[in-house]
Chains A and B, each alone.
Chain A
Amino acid sequence: MFSGFFRIIKFSFQEIIRNMSLSVMTVLILILMLLSINTLMVVKVLTDESVAAVKKQIDVSIYFNPEATLDEIQEIRDYVSAFPEVEKETFFNSEEVFANFKKSYANNPDVLSSLDEIGTNPLGPTLIIKTRDPKDYTKIITALSVPEYENIIEAKTFGDTQTAIDRIHVITTNVQKFTYFLTILFAVIAFIIIFNTIRVAIYTQRTEIGIKRLVGATNWFIQGPYIVESFLFSIISVGLTYLLVDFFLKFLDLYISVIFEKNNLLSNYLSQNLVSIIGIEFGVVFLLTIVSSGLAMRRYLRT
């Protein structure tokens, strides 16, 4: 039994080396499939990051009436923070708003001179609200659009940006749906291509399988080397794919850091999820090659 196991390992190495072109071809196809799956992983990370970045840009400003008292403002702030959807609320008093306003129009002497003409600070305090998801803004706005607050709140910017927010929501959900669809599509294509590659590889060996059976080899003795080969091909292809992906991600990160203002976004994602990514990819490739070779070989092992 033990010597049988060693013989099976010996045969699998022999077959890999003596059928080098077929082995290289099989590993190449596995690598190509793994690369396309990894490309989708990159696309998913980038869309998630873009969606998050876009969502971050959206907030709702509540402009208070300059006459509103601190108590009234505090009441609204407490009320708003009580919503579980609210991620953050930032308050600026009249002076801060005025200073910010002047700062943002520092290059516009017309605006500044007209402000000087007024002499006093015409701007009221402002509350900037960020929710976890853009679609929650409606809820906050509705809650604040009650008669009691009409005198306190002068304006809400949300009214103007609502359509924009809705559109961004639609776009981001669709982009994510599309990446999921692409992932499934690529997975199916990868499955079919790997299955067929293995089937062709087994097909070219069908006479050998028949001869081995005629000489009195058990099915286990015939199938064993293919299982070991599947194992080796999976290790080699996942290993090489990792090296390629790691190299390309480092390269891509240089460009991405400019867009998202984050360094090593993709490389970090890979290293943080290394065990699960490599583990899942190896598991799937190994299982797929074993199942494919088992199915392809079944008919040649019958008699």
Chain B
Amino acid sequence: MGSSPVIGSIVDFFELFIVQKIFLCYDIYHMITLKSVTKKYSADSTGLSGVDLHIENGEFVSIVGQSGTGKTTMIKLLIAEEKATSGVIEVGGWDITRISNSDIPLLRRQIGVIFQDFKLLPKKTVAENVAFALEVAGEKRSRIKQVVPRVLDIVGLVHKLDRYPHQLSGGEQQRVAMARSLVHRPKILLADEPTGNLDSINTQEIIDILKKINEFGTTILLVTHNREVVNQLKRRVVTLYDGRIISDENKGKYRL
């Protein structure tokens, strides 16, 4: 799989940033820190309870667990879609526990996120979807014109720039979503069940891209309940059960 054209062009993409000296310097040791984080939706509905988690710069961590154990809650807390009931959350050294509404967009422009349902804008083309992430950040037009095709080239969709999401397969849509999440050069990539809607071939392709992105230094948090994916990765695995961490292993396996 490592020889696929998709992966090959990732190197070009990161070289682009290195040459332009805009690649981020990772001098933060803890990329993600949760200190006794609890999230209660209501009196009898708890998302997370007393979770402590440290994810270091450059790690590739899989978060596994059954449905309703708090995996998605964790993602929502990290992108400030939800606020913690108690505890402290830091992302890239930034305490986002009590983040103000006006700072939320700034946070989200520094974290790449991909979802099970892709979350592409249906009325925008592939290129426009990717460009949108740069446009909201006020990136220059010339820069957008230069970067968007290159990022889409990495995910192997440069020939489908003008297609709309509904004209693409599920795997292609997820690759567009990945291109969009990478276009900011994020320090962290959060992937919430990115392969949940994909067949095994597309799943493998997405995981390969994630691995390659991680090799170039981006911290990856992968939420999944795909046993094969987790077992094949042989990376750190954090298992959640009922809102708590029940195991945290460095070269873990899917245990549930």
A75-91 contacts to B, CB under 8 A, are: none
Question: Beta-carbon contacts of A46-76 to B below 8 Å, as 1s and 0s?
Answer: 0000000000000000000000000000000
Asked if residues B79 and A15 are in contact (CB atoms below 8 Å), the reply is: no
Number of interface residues of A (CB under 8 A): 21
CB distance from B118 to the nearest CB of A (A): 9
Query: Which B residues are CB-close (under 8 A) to A215?
Result: 108-109, 132-133, 136, 180
CB distance from A12 to the nearest CB of B (A): 12
Interface residue? B113 (CB, 8 A): yes
Contact residues of A: prevailing secondary structure: helix
Q: Which residue of B lies closest to A217 (CB)?
A: B136
Interface residue? A145 (CB, 8 A): no
Asked if residues A216 and B82 are in contact (CB atoms below 8 Å), the reply is: no
Query: Which B residues are CB-close (under 8 A) to A210?
Result: 119
Of the listed residues B80, B102, B109, B138, the one surrounded by the most CB atoms of chain A closer than 10 A to its CB is: B138
Number of interface residues of B (CB under 8 A): 28
Interface residue? A3 (CB, 8 A): yes
Known: A3-B140, A4-B138. A216 touches B122 (CB 8 A): no
CB distance from B17 to the nearest CB of A (A): 19
Q: Which residue of A lies closest to B183 (CB)?
A: A215
Query: Which A residues are CB-close (under 8 A) to B141?
Result: 3
Interface residue? B215 (CB, 8 A): no
Query: Which A residues are CB-close (under 8 A) to B136?
Result: 212, 215-218, 221
Interface residue? A121 (CB, 8 A): no
Interface residue? A303 (CB, 8 A): yes
Whole-angstrom CA separation of A18 from B122 in the bound complex: 10
- Identify B132's interface contact among A19, A207, A212, CB under 8 A: A212
Asked if residues A303 and B113 are in contact (CB atoms below 8 Å), the reply is: no
Question: Beta-carbon contacts of A205-239 to B below 8 Å, as 1s and 0s?
Answer: 00110111111111001000000000000000000
CB distance from B167 to the nearest CB of A (A): 14
Query: Which A residues are CB-close (under 8 A) to B138?
Result: 1, 3-4
CB distance from B100 to the nearest CB of A (A): 12
Asked if residues A216 and B123 are in contact (CB atoms below 8 Å), the reply is: no
Whole-angstrom CA separation of A203 from B136 in the bound complex: 22
B72-122 contacts to A, CB under 8 A, are: 79-82, 102, 104-109, 113, 119-122
Contact residues of B: prevailing secondary structure: loop
Known: A3-B140, A7-B135. A217 touches B105 (CB 8 A): yes
Query: Which A residues are CB-close (under 8 A) to B133?
Result: 215-216
Asked if residues B119 and A211 are in contact (CB atoms below 8 Å), the reply is: yes
Query: Which A residues are CB-close (under 8 A) to B11?
Result: none
- Identify B123's interface contact among A1, A7, A19, A218, CB under 8 A: A19
Query: Which A residues are CB-close (under 8 A) to B120?
Result: 211
Asked if residues B135 and A208 are in contact (CB atoms below 8 Å), the reply is: no
Interface residue? A14 (CB, 8 A): yes
Interface residue? B168 (CB, 8 A): no
Of the listed residues B104, B106, B119, B136, the one surrounded by the most CB atoms of chain A closer than 10 A to its CB is: B136
CB distance from A231 to the nearest CB of B (A): 20
Interface residue? B18 (CB, 8 A): no
Query: Which A residues are CB-close (under 8 A) to B132?
Result: 212, 215, 217
Whole-angstrom CA separation of A215 from B121 in the bound complex: 11
CB distance from A300 to the nearest CB of B (A): 12
Interface residue? B137 (CB, 8 A): yes
Whole-angstrom CA separation of A1 from B138 in the bound complex: 8
Query: Which B residues are CB-close (under 8 A) to A3?
Result: 138, 140-141
Whole-angstrom CA separation of A40 from B250 in the bound complex: 76
Question: Beta-carbon contacts of B173-208 to A below 8 Å, as 1s and 0s?
Answer: 000000010001000000000000000000000000
Question: Beta-carbon contacts of B130-172 to A below 8 Å, as 1s and 0s?
Answer: 0011011110110000000000000000000000000000000
Asked if residues B121 and A214 are in contact (CB atoms below 8 Å), the reply is: no
Q: Which residue of A lies closest to B181 (CB)?
A: A215
Q: Which residue of B lies closest to A301 (CB)?
A: B101
Whole-angstrom CA separation of A112 from B32 in the bound complex: 115
Query: Which A residues are CB-close (under 8 A) to B124?
Result: 14
CB distance from B136 to the nearest CB of A (A): 4
Asked if residues A303 and B123 are in contact (CB atoms below 8 Å), the reply is: no
Query: Which B residues are CB-close (under 8 A) to A218?
Result: 102, 105, 136
CB distance from B73 to the nearest CB of A (A): 13
Interface residues of B (CB under 8 A from A): 79-82, 102, 104-109, 113, 119-124, 132-133, 135-138, 140-141, 180, 184
A-B interface, 8 closest residue pairs, ranked by CB to CB distance from nearest: A216-B108, A216-B109, A217-B136, A18-B123, A216-B105, A211-B119, A218-B105, A215-B133
Q: What are 27 A-B pairs at a CB distance below 8 A? A: A1-B138, A3-B141, A14-B123, A15-B123, A18-B123, A207-B119, A208-B121, A212-B121, A212-B132, A213-B104, A213-B105, A214-B81, A214-B113, A214-B119, A215-B109, A215-B132, A215-B133, A216-B106, A216-B108, A216-B109, A216-B137, A217-B105, A217-B132, A218-B105, A218-B136, A303-B81, A303-B104
Contacts A214-B113, A215-B180, A218-B105 supplied; 9 other A-B pairs, CB < 8 Å: A208-B121, A208-B122, A208-B123, A211-B120, A212-B132, A212-B136, A213-B104, A214-B119, A216-B106
